[in-house]
Amino acid sequence: MFGILLPLLCAAQDVSLSQLWTMPSLGNPAATATAEEDYRVGASYRNQWASVGSPFKTSSAMGEAKLLQKRAGYMGVGAFVRQDKAGASQFGVFEAFGQAAYHLRAGQKDYLSAGIGVGFRQRSIVTEGLKWDSQFNGVGHDPAIDSGESFGNQQSSSIDASLGVHWQHRKRQHYDIGYAAWHYFQDQGFLTDTRDPALLTHQLTFNWLQTYGPVDVTYSVSSMKQGGAFTAITGARAKYRIGSDSRYTTAKTSSAVTAGIFYRYRDAIIPAIGYEYERKIQLFISYDVVMSSLYDASARRGGWELSLIWSDFYADSRMRLR
């Protein structure tokens, strides 16, 4: 079942997160505020390839909420920031985006959504501390020797935009599918301006929920393509609810445990576990077990990822107990 829609080619890896289900709006603006709750805030941190030079570190934070909820649909608004630092040069990408989506009711529980994201992206690189061939003194590296390089610390900024669509189906079968395109208005330059636009990044996601007794299992696949670069992650996560929920009062609210396994094609196997406290606070931990050609160079060390999500409703219809 994990092989559903498994891509056949993977050529590169951009800023990558493994826990895609925690913040789906980071990949598709049309997925903003598609969760059952009225609002969500969350943060994640990823530390990758710690044994290969300097670790790759990615930090993200997001918030989203439902507005103008009517019988015909509702508006979802949100924002996220993300900071990525890679390698000894601390090559960095900072992003700050605002997003909005309209979710049109297309049935009793079905929604057809369209969204847009507009934001700011900054790239930077730090050259202090880098080692150059010209600094080799015959015995080893000598940082006191002038490198002779004219390339110094640099940074550049640009505007970026994304568009997306999303379909959520909740009848006999529970599934959702989404498509998004990123990097409208982006230049193709590394750190300098250029008239050539960057190639669009296309992202396709699919999630399918099946219930097996007391366990809900969500099968998922997400793929991204930009020019000749292609990457994808597929797998499943199971949720088992602990306790029960009171229907008319707040006397009881259940919690849940989650376990999953995912596969990033030609890159890593990713086990994940999580805990949800009383339908409000969710904590997830995952680890990338390297399976690529980087296996030996990384000393078999992949990447830790930690996510914390808080979600709730504007008002609980149940009677509050003192």
Mean pLDDT of the chain: 83
User: Which pLDDT band, with edges at 50, 70 and 90, does 159 fall under?
Assistant: confident
Segment 136-144 mean pLDDT: 66
Between 316 and 62, where is the model more confident? 62
How far apart (Å, rounded) are the C-alpha atoms in residues 89 and 94? Answer: 15
What amino acid is encoded at 318 in this protein? R
Q: Taking the CB of residue 56, how many other CB atoms lie within 10 A of it? A: 19
DSSP string, 184-225: ET-B--SSS--SSBPPPEEEEEEEEEEEETTEEEEEEEEEEE
Q: How far are the Cα atoms of 16, 17, 80, 158, 198 from residue 188, in angstroms, in the given order?
A: 20, 23, 23, 11, 4
Between 258 and 193, where is the model more confident? 258
Domains and CATH numbers, the chain: 24-138+157-312 (2.40.160.40)
Least confident residue range of 97-101, 181-185, 234-238, 278-282:
181-185
Segment 231-243 mean pLDDT: 95
Query: Burial of 322 by CB count in 10 Å (0-12 exposed, 13-18 middle, 19+ buried)?
Result: exposed
Q: Taking the CB of residue 133, how many other CB atoms lie within 10 A of it? A: 8
The pLDDT tens digits for 60-119 are 999 999 999 999 999 999 999 998 877 666 677 889 999 999 999 988 889 999 999 999
**Among 89, 190, 189, CA closest to 132:** 89
| The predicted structure's pLDDT at residue 44 | 95
Least confident residue range of 125-134, 204-213, 261-270, 306-315:
125-134
The pLDDT tens digits for 306-315 are 999 999 998 8
